[in-house]
Structure 1
């Protein structure tokens, strides 16, 4: 572009120079024959040519200055972009915000112990422990359950589950369950593979749903769900549902298939702090019973209301 403009200016300059030379020659040749008025016109044309030369030089100088200014601005802009890119790359490589976005490792343990009694005066002690450790995306769950009826031996269950977040409110879990029942004379220990979901169902129901598959064709499903309803900031009532469904069981101490065990109740707790929470509990319990096998006699289904109190601790 600058070459074209320079070429045009050079052509204009040559043309004006030729015109001036011609005018000067004509002036010398006709000086004696021209009137004073004609001489003044010729002088004006000469001054005009001189002004054109001056304007051309000024335009050329201004264009050079403008190009120099644009080049300087472009150089500064390019340098600023390089600085910005270098600063961004440094920030990307050195900054680590994982702790601010769920990458930190945290641990939580909850212990729940309650004593219940039914209308016949029979007592039952139920204890649960749940501990979790990990990040928002990957966690390890440890669960322990112990049930001991009055004047009877206790049975225990423990689960170790790997939990992986699959959405904002749900984790898929896989692991193993160990069961120990002292009431059985044989096969006291049993192992089951476990697959389930842990998370927050619609309307804020905290839910744990598991499918268990074990030896002797034992296949069962368990569901635990609960929801907090705040009466005050410290007084909270919690409806809950715990149930077990047996799909098949060919073991020596087989349970009846179908809806085998249900706890449906309401717990009301007072939070002294977020670590200590005493509560009272009222629940309806249904149990279907056991099958008739060579190792046990058939039992009938039972249903009763249970009342009690307990304490929950978190740390």
Structure 2
């Protein structure tokens, strides 16, 4: 009987456990069903109600509607139609205007301290140099340059001096005429004239070949001339010419100058010239070796590129045997000169 009682109690306990487990399963299933119903209600479309007149502002309409006229709801079903709608374009007008402004107004180059101050002097038009819009690539051009026509007041008296250069030709080959000299006391003291053919061997240098004829006191002399002229580094104008004459005579003339611009019109030009001879000529008052040097400064003001008055100062010196000849003749070896003149070209 005791065994039967134990068996009955075990059956009752087992049934109670089964009942509890069944109840838990039922509760879990009920909760799952309720949760699914709640989710389906949340995702169901809201009932459409007509808004009151004036209740929706223009900003709300823009926020609730896509530019293509479709709803902007994040869970809209028609995803393909949303993808088919083109994306709105970005307004690049302001950026384009900024870029255009940057192109129209490039950055200014750094200021270079060595450039002269501007005084309103604009570059001359091409027509001032004989260049027109309709002309061949290698035209026939010409130029006349009166580099100096000046009054000279020196230690030994006053005189008038000139220096002229003229050329005609094309870009590569030109015919040159060069002459210079001085007149004092109503007579020509010294001078020379040259007729040269110039050939450009580089953009800045010409080879010169021709003849020279001496003028002034003493017998006339004729020379064959061979030299170069052009623009050396650091903007130095340079002329160097070797002369050969009969009876073994030879000579060398070197001249260099540079322009220093205080403004676009006010220009200071220093110039150095030297003359040397391979053989002396007492009748022309020079000896062999370095004969003389001249250093001058001319300050000019260019009212135009073609017309510029100037004032200046020059220092001249005779050397060696030429200086001894000057002393014997009673002429000064060193001379200090004040200059005033004009510079013209056309």
TM-score, normalisation: structure 2: 0.56
Question: Counterpart of 2:307?
Answer: 276
Q: In the alignment, what sits opposite 1:159?
A: 194
1:258-287 alpha-carbon deviations (Å, 9 max, x no partner): 221111011110001111110011111112
Superposition deviation, residue 118 in structure 1:
1.9
Correspondence 1:223 to 2:264: no
Equivalent position of 1:92 in the other structure: none
Structure 2 residue aligned with 1:114:
150
Alignment coverage as a number of residue pairs? 209
Match of 1:99 among 136, 158, 173: 136
Q: CA deviation at 1:300?
A: 7.2
Tell me, yes or no, if the aligned pair for 1:253 and 1:291 is still in contact at 8 Å: no
SS in 2 for 1:128: strand
The CA distance in 2 between the partners of 1:241 and 1:277, in whole Å, is 21
2:224 to 186, 190, 193: 193
Gaps of at least 5 residues in structure 1 are 1-96
Q: Distance in 2 between matches of 1:134 and 1:299?
A: 46
User: Paired residue for 2:177?
Assistant: 142
Give the structure with the larger strand fraction. Answer: 1
1:236-275 to structure 2, matched below 5 A, reads 236-249=267-280, 252-253=283-284, 255-275=286-306
Provide the rounded CA distance (Å) in 2 between the counterparts of 1:292 and 1:199. Answer: 35
C-alpha displacement at 1:152, in angstroms? 5.1
Any conservation in 2 of the 1:124–1:150 contact (CA below 8 Å)? yes
* Secondary structure at 2:221 match in 1: strand
Label 1:134 to 1:217 Cα distance change in 2 as closer, same or farther (>3 A). Answer: same
The structure with more radius of gyration? 2
Give, in whole Å, the separation in 2 of the partners of 1:179 and 1:165: 26
SS in 2 for 1:216: helix
The question of 1:178 aligning with 2:241 is answered: no
Q: Once the 2 structures are TM-superposed, how far is the Cα of residue 202 of structure 1 from its aligned partner?
A: 0.9
* 2:260 aligned with 1:205: no
Q: CA distance change for structure 1 residues 225 and 262 in 2, over 3 Å: closer, same or farther? A: same
Give the structure with the larger helix fraction.
1
In structure 2, list runs of 5 or more residues that go unmatched: 1-133
Give 1:119 deviation, angstroms: 3.7
